[in-house]
Structure 1
Amino acid sequence: MESQLAFLAVCLASAASPGPGGLAVVSNSINHNLRRTLPVIFGIATGLLLASLLANTWLLAVIHSSDRAFLVMTWLCSAYIAYLGAKALYYANREMTIAAQGYGFKNGVLISLLNPKTLVFFGALFPMFITNEANFIRDAIVLTLELVLITLVIHILVSSAIDKISHILKNHLVAINRITGVMFIALGISGFIF
C-alpha cells in the first residue's frame, strides 16, 4: 500500500511539474481554449501508453543493455524538444502561433513519447514500483493506467483554469510564446547536459 501511495505521489509530481507536455497544454490553452487543447492532452496520454508499452518490452532491454544506446536515445529526444522550442520562437511574432500551427493529437503523442522525462520515468523509476515479477504485466498495466489518468486530470484542470483567464493572457501572447520557446529549448538542452 505504501508503494502504491508513493507511486501516486510521483505521478502527481511528474504530471504537475513543468515539462514539454505541460508547456504544450499551457501554450495551446492560452492561444485557444480547453476544447481545442483536448487533442494535445489525449495525444500526450496516448504517447504515455505507447512509451509504457515500448519501455516495458524491447526498448527497455535495448537501453539497459547499452549506456551508449540510452545516451543516443536521450539526445534524440532532447533534440526534438529543443526543435519545438526553436519552432515556438520562430512563430512567436507571427499571427499564426505555434499552437495554432499544430499542437494537436500527433504533437501530443510525439511530445510525450520523445520526452526524456518519460523515458527516464519508465526506464528507471517505473520498475521500482513493480511489486512482483510474477505479476509484472498486470502491475505494469495498472501503474501505466494510473499515470495516464492522473496526467489527463492534471492537464485538463490546468487547461480549464487557463481557459478562464486566457482573455487576460492573450494581451501578452508574443511574450508567452517566446517564454514557451525558451523553456522548450532549455528542457532540450538539459537532456544533453544531465
Structure 2
Amino acid sequence: MSWTLFSAFFVACVLISVTPGAGAINTMANGMVYGVRRTLPSILGLQIGLAFQMVVVGIGLGSLLSSSALAFTIIKWLGVVYLVYLGITKWRETAHAFSTENQDATLSGWTRLWKGALVNATNPKATVFLMALLPQFLVADAPHAPQFAIMGATMVAVDIAVMFGYATLSTAIARFLKTPAQQRAINRAFGGLFIGAAGLLAAYRH
C-alpha cells in the first residue's frame, strides 16, 4: 500500500470514527458516569468488536452477510435488541453524582469491556460497510493479509483516539450536571440515543 493510498484510507477512518454512532454514544454515556480513565475498558471493548468485524470481512464471512438475507436479518435483529437493551438500561439508571472517580458506578471493567465489544460486533451494517470500503484500498496484485492487518490496525488506532476524545468531552460536560433532575435527563437522552440507533439499524435494508 502506497503512502498516497494509506493517507486516503487514514482520512476515511477519521471521518468514519468521528461520525456519531452507537460506539460514540456508548463511550460518551460511560464517560459521563465513570470518567475518562475508567471508560478505557469500554473503548477497548469497542476495538475488540471492530477487530472482530475486520476478521469477519477478511476471512470472507462478510460475503455471507451480503448474500444471505437470512443471515443478515438474524445478526441485524440481535444488534437491534442489544441496543434497545442498552437504551432501556440507561433510561432507567439511577441518578447519582457524576465524577471522574464515581464510587456509585458498579459495573466492573470487564462488564464494560464486553458491553462495548458487543456494540460493534453485533452490527451487520458495519460488516457490509467494511466490505464496501476496504476493497477500494486493496492492491489487487499484492498479498491481502498484510494489507488487511495494516488497515485493521489503522482503524483501531484512529477509533481509540476518537473515542478517547468523546470520553474526555463527556466527562467535562458531566461536571456541570449537579442535580438529580439533570442527571436523569442526560441518562434518558443517552437511552433515547441508543434506542434511536437501534431504530436506524432496524430500518437498514439488506
1:41 to 43, 50, 66: 43
> Residue 74 of structure 1 contacts residue 116 of structure 1 at CA under 8 Å; is this kept in 2?
yes
Q: Could you say what the CA RMSD is over the residues aligned between the two structures, in angstroms?
A: 2.4
**Cα distance change of structure 1 residues 71 and 5 upon mapping to structure 2, 3 Å threshold:** farther
Measured against aligned partners, the alpha-carbon deviations of 1:8-55 in whole angstroms (never above 9, x if no partner) come to 222112211111111111111111211110110111112111221122
SS of the residue 1:169 aligns to: coil
TM-score of the superposition, structure 2-length normalised? 0.82
2:45 counterpart letter in structure 1: G
> Residue 47 of structure 2 contacts residue 117 of structure 2 at CA under 8 Å; is this kept in 1?
yes
**Cα distance change of structure 1 residues 123 and 170 upon mapping to structure 2, 3 Å threshold:** farther
Q: Which residue of 1 aligns with 2:168?
A: 160
Whole-Å separation in 1 of the counterparts to 2:152 and 2:118: 17
CA shift at 1:170, angstroms? 4.8
Measured against aligned partners, the alpha-carbon deviations of 1:57-97 in whole angstroms (never above 9, x if no partner) come to 15213213313322332222222112211221122x45599
Identity %: 27
> Residue 31 of structure 2 contacts residue 171 of structure 2 at CA under 8 Å; is this kept in 1?
yes
Whole-Å separation in 2 of the counterparts to 1:77 and 1:124: 20
Count of residue pairs the alignment pairs up: 192
TM-score of the superposition, structure 1-length normalised? 0.86
Q: Which residue of 2 aligns with 1:32?
A: 34
Q: How does 1:89-104 map to 2 (within 5 A)?
A: 89-91=91-93, 93-95=94-96, 100=105, 102=107, 104=112
> Residue 72 of structure 2 contacts residue 124 of structure 2 at CA under 8 Å; is this kept in 1?
no
Structure 2 spans left out of the alignment, 5+ residues: 99-103
User: Does 2:89 match 1:87?
Assistant: yes
Q: How does 1:123-142 map to 2 (within 5 A)?
A: 123-132=131-140, 134-142=142-150
Q: How does 1:2-151 map to 2 (within 5 A)?
A: 2-91=4-93, 93-95=94-96, 100=105, 102=107, 104-132=112-140, 134-151=142-159
> Residue 62 of structure 1 contacts residue 69 of structure 1 at CA under 8 Å; is this kept in 2?
yes
User: Does 2:186 match 1:176?
Assistant: yes
Whole-Å separation in 2 of the counterparts to 1:170 and 1:46: 34
1:185 to 163, 172, 195: 195
